[in-house]
Structure 1
């Protein structure tokens, strides 16, 4: 009965020894790529990749069992009636399982290749999932055409109306999907980058954690998870504070009392900033006079950092160490002065 629906000869020809060996070689290529090119990955990434390989090997062992079972049934099918009946179904299961192993192996190779270019933070799974989906659809249509003997053209034509209805129902989901693809193609940011997203009066700041089919997930300063739809991301103004080679510029203000040694104060603040490990030595921190009044002189210290997420902790170190260093050099900080004017005269109160 199976011969009525399945082209058994075409299926049996495909389940030869050569495709099985080629699939095993493809898994070996993925393993060799991992061993030779991803040795510098973090331990967490190594565990993740090894888990992928363990899952892949379990599927390949199951495929090997099905393949050997099919070979046995096919060779003894003419002598055993029951074997002749179930052989096409075992062959079909073996073919489907082989496609699963092929898709998983190809997906793992693509994942490792993309990870090679972003070994520090990892890669978004969106592109890998899209590749797996497209490959699965191609293999499914190929199997329907060659094994079941169905014409794909008329089948796709009759499903056009259903596709339109499904597209309208999934309009938002598809919009987020294609927006996510465009974000990945443009590569304006990657996983691990610190972003500032502005849309109207809404402003969101966080570090990119993942890009999925529907949304982009960020981690905020307080480790809160922020989920933004990809369509929102595509239409917003995005500032990336994690460029590859450009440091992040930050500045802090100190006010010293008028009449103090300004040059000494600038040197003290520059030495303090240069002594903090998170601050770049090149370009070196530098201080300058940005404003002055009859009561105080405003000094601004400019410094360069690599981690946008550490800016507040670094700023706190500069403040506390800078104040202590100025005091140790007998440089007085400015005090707030409030002028109180009355009808009989003016007086000055110092707080």
Structure 2
């Protein structure tokens, strides 16, 4: 019995047992709680709970093992002289690990809430990045406070240094605050199709907003290239947002027929083609009724406009192409003439 008692009281045995117990607790947490919770959350309508579980599963497992390792090492007499430094190291690691868990969980909750709100559904990642940075700054202040570091001189130094940094990074800070302005004022959102006037060589930029970041906004053009535009330039530019107030947009196609044409017949044939395209093309709004309006006695033709409607602004090229092909084919069958420029010359005798 004395041998068993002395063995159980052995510091190395206690240290090893403590770490083994931490492994058991972490495994039980992973197997019993996480897997059971995943089964329960799969039956819910929202995927928020499952996302949070996926986020905290590994960090919490590591946190339990880390606490167990700390308690295990604290029982080793060989490390008594280093216990103060060990305490500091473990405190720093645990604070940042807990901050990581809180940051990831908060981002998931806020992202889910923003997605659930219609007007915030396309809010970019800038808000969650600011939240994460704020949490890590708070964690750093907690660590400095734990080590009894007087942060007043640090703040004074940062204040003086921030002036110099602000002057050196004036353009970067301008882009950052312009990004905050874009997020708050929301002239554009992620997923919007926009046209920005005269940015690249005086030419307009048109494309879909991919992301609004700290410094720049990424726009994917229709040729599938990415344009990285500084937020400051975007905020100061004239923006045509074709996705607001709604995605649907009208497409006007200019046409013309010769002066010999029967305009009633032209209107009937053109409207028939327009209705067929409007109902059968997947990019169009099938409930929209096309409109035809004659408006100009031109040099060679009587011109008119056909108004169609698409679900998204970027689909207007597809609609125009299909409509022009179908209309030309139908005019040929109906013997409706589209005249080219002609000039008549009269000679007086």
Distance across 2 between alignment mates of 1:301 and 1:285: 7
For 1:324-339, what aligned pairs fall within 5 Å after superposition? 324-339=329-344
Match of 1:245 in 2: 246
Closer/same/farther in 2, CA of residues 340 and 261 from structure 1, 3 Å limit: closer
Q: Gaps spanning 5+ residues in structure 1: where? A: 1-16, 40-48, 347-351
SS at the partner of 2:339? coil
Match of 2:130 in 1: 130
Match of 1:264 in 2: 265
Does residue 1:216 correspond to 2:217, yes or no?
yes
TM (norm. structure 2) is: 0.76
Is the 8 Å Cα contact of residues 107 and 128 (structure 2) preserved in structure 1?
Answer: yes
Deviation at 1:225, TM superposition (A): 1.4
SS at the partner of 1:226? strand
Does residue 1:82 correspond to 2:79, yes or no?
yes
Distance across 1 between alignment mates of 2:43 and 2:131: 19
Does residue 1:280 correspond to 2:279, yes or no?
no
Closer/same/farther in 2, CA of residues 120 and 155 from structure 1, 3 Å limit: closer
SS at the partner of 1:205? strand
TM (norm. structure 1) is: 0.75
Is the 8 Å Cα contact of residues 266 and 299 (structure 1) preserved in structure 2?
Answer: no
Distance across 1 between alignment mates of 2:163 and 2:266: 71
Match of 2:301 in 1: 296
Is the 8 Å Cα contact of residues 273 and 327 (structure 2) preserved in structure 1?
Answer: yes
SS at the partner of 1:275? helix
Is the 8 Å Cα contact of residues 34 and 112 (structure 1) preserved in structure 2?
Answer: no
Deviation at 1:83, TM superposition (A): 5.9
Is the 8 Å Cα contact of residues 176 and 231 (structure 2) preserved in structure 1?
Answer: yes
Deviation at 1:65, TM superposition (A): 1.2
Q: Cα RMSD over matched residues? A: 3.4
Deviation at 1:179, TM superposition (A): 0.5
Match of 1:227 in 2: 228
Deviation at 1:125, TM superposition (A): 1.8
Deviation at 1:306, TM superposition (A): 2.1
Deviation at 1:339, TM superposition (A): 3.9
Closer/same/farther in 2, CA of residues 319 and 184 from structure 1, 3 Å limit: same
Deviation at 1:199, TM superposition (A): 4.4
Question: Which has the larger Rg?
Answer: 2
Deviation at 1:153, TM superposition (A): 3.1
Is the 8 Å Cα contact of residues 248 and 309 (structure 2) preserved in structure 1?
Answer: yes
Distance across 2 between alignment mates of 1:255 and 1:149: 83
Closer/same/farther in 2, CA of residues 247 and 92 from structure 1, 3 Å limit: closer
Distance across 2 between alignment mates of 1:279 and 1:161: 59
SS at the partner of 1:190? coil
Distance across 1 between alignment mates of 2:121 and 2:221: 16
Distance across 1 between alignment mates of 2:219 and 2:256: 37
Match of 1:310 in 2: 315
Distance across 2 between alignment mates of 1:96 and 1:221: 43
Which string of whole-angstrom CA distances, capped at 9 and with x for unpartnered residues, describes residues 277-334 of structure 1? 3222444211111212574221210112221111111110010011112222332222
Distance across 2 between alignment mates of 1:224 and 1:184: 24
Count of aligned pairs between the two proteins: 305
Q: Gaps spanning 5+ residues in structure 2: where? A: 1-24
Match of 2:204 in 1: 203
For 1:48-67, what aligned pairs fall within 5 Å after superposition? 57-67=57-67
Distance across 2 between alignment mates of 1:53 and 1:210: 27
Is the 8 Å Cα contact of residues 180 and 211 (structure 1) preserved in structure 2?
Answer: yes
Deviation at 1:120, TM superposition (A): 12
Does residue 1:179 correspond to 2:178, yes or no?
yes
